Chains A and B, each alone.
Chain A
Amino acid sequence: DIQMTQSPSSLSASVGDRVTISCRASQSISDYLNWYRQKPGKAPNLLIHAASSLQSGVPSRFSGSGSGTDFTLTISSLQPEDFATYYCQQNYSPPYTFGGGTKVEIK
């Protein structure tokens, strides 16, 4: 199985801050990397697919980069609705695996 490691596991930030979350794969996955935001009690919501493609309807403050084994999700200006948990996921090969999550909390 391909292991996905996210860092940090949690962070505190303020509205308007720039936030960066990292995700590392245990082997090369090309650009088969997706990012999801999950609010408490809700299903995950797709933000970024193919490492850097913004999902339709997702605000442009979200961006993704990387390829191979190292990837980054950036939120350029944190909004109140962005306080949530973020997951990366590889869909390069089954079993599709998720990172452990990064919880973004209010400072």
Chain B
Amino acid sequence: QVQLQESGPGLVKPSETLSLTCNVSGGSTRSYYWSWVRQPPGKGLEWIGYIYYSGSTNYNPSLKSRVTISVDTSRNQFSLTLSSVTAADTAVYYCARHAAFLQTGPFDYWGQGTLVTVSS
């Protein structure tokens, strides 16, 4: 059974950089696409971007200037960095796997999510 687990600081100061890691167990990061999705408290879901195990990426244009997603297949994990954060970046951040080895695959496995609060 594939499991995803997000980790990282729960509190980030405004203007600083948010960094999260998603550890994948029960399966390999190879041959799949992996995404980050976020959800502000009480609001809907926003796709942040994806990475393929080869390192190719695609980011949401609304965040593209501030986002970097990377993958470390040797550690079976992938990571998110979001720079110059503001209170609007406060959200639960989820990592997720795309099904069927496709960038267009639906998200079939999700992490439990981690709340990141931006506050001084």
Tally of chain B residues near chain A (CB < 8 A): 23
Tell me if B58 and A46 are in contact (CB < 8 A).
no
**What distance in Å separates the Cβ of A36 from its nearest Cβ neighbour in chain B?**
8
Question: How far is B43's CA from A101's CA once the two chains are assembled, in angstroms?
Answer: 9
Question: How far is B109's CA from A46's CA once the two chains are assembled, in angstroms?
Answer: 8
- Contact of A80 with B by CB under 8 A: no
Question: How far is B106's CA from A55's CA once the two chains are assembled, in angstroms?
Answer: 10
Report chain A residues within 8 Å CB of B99.
46, 49
Known contacts A43-B110, A94-B58, A94-B60; A32/B47 CB under 8 A: no
**What distance in Å separates the Cβ of B51 from its nearest Cβ neighbour in chain A?**
12
Known contacts A87-B45, A94-B58, A98-B46; A46/B107 CB under 8 A: yes
**What distance in Å separates the Cβ of B10 from its nearest Cβ neighbour in chain A?**
15
- Contact of B8 with A by CB under 8 A: no
Tell me if A92 and B104 are in contact (CB < 8 A).
yes
Known contacts A49-B99, A87-B45; A34/B106 CB under 8 A: yes
**What distance in Å separates the Cβ of A15 from its nearest Cβ neighbour in chain B?**
26
Query: Which of B35, B45, B50, B94 is packed against the most chain A CB atoms within 10 Å?
Result: B45
Interface bits A80-107 vs B (CB < 8 Å: 1, else 0): 0000000101011011111111000000
Q: Which residue of A lies closest to B35 (CB)?
A: A96
Question: How far is B110's CA from A46's CA once the two chains are assembled, in angstroms?
Answer: 9
Q: Which 6 A-B pairs have the closest CB atoms?
A: A43-B110, A34-B106, A49-B106, A95-B60, A98-B45, A96-B47
Chain A positions near chain B (C-beta within 8 angstroms): 1, 32, 34, 36, 42-46, 49-50, 55, 87, 89, 91-92, 94-101
